[in-house]
Amino acid sequence: MTRVKICGNTRLDDARQAVEAGADLLGFIFYPRSPRKISLGDARAISRVLRGQAILVGVFVNEPIEAVEAALAEAELDLAQLHGEETLATVAAFGGAAFKAMKRAMVAGASAEEYAGAGPTDPRLPQLLLDADHATLYGGTGQRADQGLAATLARQHRLLLAGGLTPDNVAAAIAAVQPWGVDVASGVEAEPGIKDHTRVSRFIDEVRRSR
């Protein structure tokens, strides 16, 4: 089964609908410059309602280890997604409670293998995420990731495929890449940070039909 992560949640109503539609993971973005950023208090309010119904993921960009650990605890989340230029040592410091988001330019030599090895050992959790390249933005761009690279990584690791996915193209992306899971934010929004419930349901339905 291809897992689904609905990312960039800012409202309980949106997060609840995503879970009811079949989402396996929910993402909460704490990067201050993101249009989908959420406060720790608001994330905690959502997590207390939906705990146990989905894996709850905090998304961080180049934050100190201590700050990420404190945020996970305060917001009562399960897992950290490190979406900046975090080092292998940073990922390893979380002891399997964090996974790395990578872009094409970051995947060199054995780096993907090493980052995946430092990630979660639990088969219910992703080891890596591959997103689209962008010179200045950390995700949410609507641009597509390198599917050839993604397919290579997906054969070796539990890969979340992100970058430009929508209800209209996710089935083809799954067929081409065969990822462990797919991750969407802008592709199911009415506006940044506000989900379009019809698009969320369509996206998840397309994924389920692509098993």
Residue with tokens 């996206």: 203
Contact 41, 76 (CB under 8 A): no
What is the CATH number for 30? Answer: 3.20.20.70
Distance of CA 191 to the CA centre of its chain: 18
**Ordered alpha helix ranges (H), the chain:** 12-21, 40-50, 65-75, 88-92, 111-118, 147-154, 170-177, 197-209
% the chain with pLDDT above 90: 82
Given a cut of 80, whether residue 143 has pLDDT beyond it is no
3-state class (DSSP) for residue 47: helix
pLDDT for the residue numbered 199: 98
Amino acid (1-letter code) at residue 129:
L
Instruction: Kindly report, residue by residue over 9-32, the tens digit of the pLDDT.
Output: 999 999 999 999 999 999 999 999
Which of the residues 7, 24, 78, 146 is marked catalytic?
A: 7
User: 131 an active-site residue?
Assistant: yes
Residue 2 to residue 24: CA distance in whole angstroms: 9
How many domains does the chain contain in total?
Answer: 1
26: number of CA atoms within 13 Å, CB side?
A: 33
Angle between helix 197-209 and helix 170-177 axes, rounded to 10 deg: 30
Range 127-139 average pLDDT: 68
The amino acid occupying position 24 is D
Which one of 14, 24, 78, 131 is the catalytic residue?
131
| Res 146: pLDDT | 80
- Cβ contact 162:184 at 8 Å: yes
Residue 187 · residue 199 · CB < 8 Å:
yes
- Of the two residues 103 and 201, the one the predictor is more confident about is 201
Identify the domain containing residue 134 by its residue range: 3-209
Residues near 85 by beta carbon (within 8 Å), at least 6 away in sequence:
62, 106
- Residues 35-64 pLDDT 10s: 999 999 999 999 999 999 999 999 999 999
The answer to whether residue 14 is catalytic is no
- Beta carbons within 10 angstroms of residue 9's beta carbon: 29
Task: Report d(CA 30, CA 46) in Å as an integer.
Answer: 14
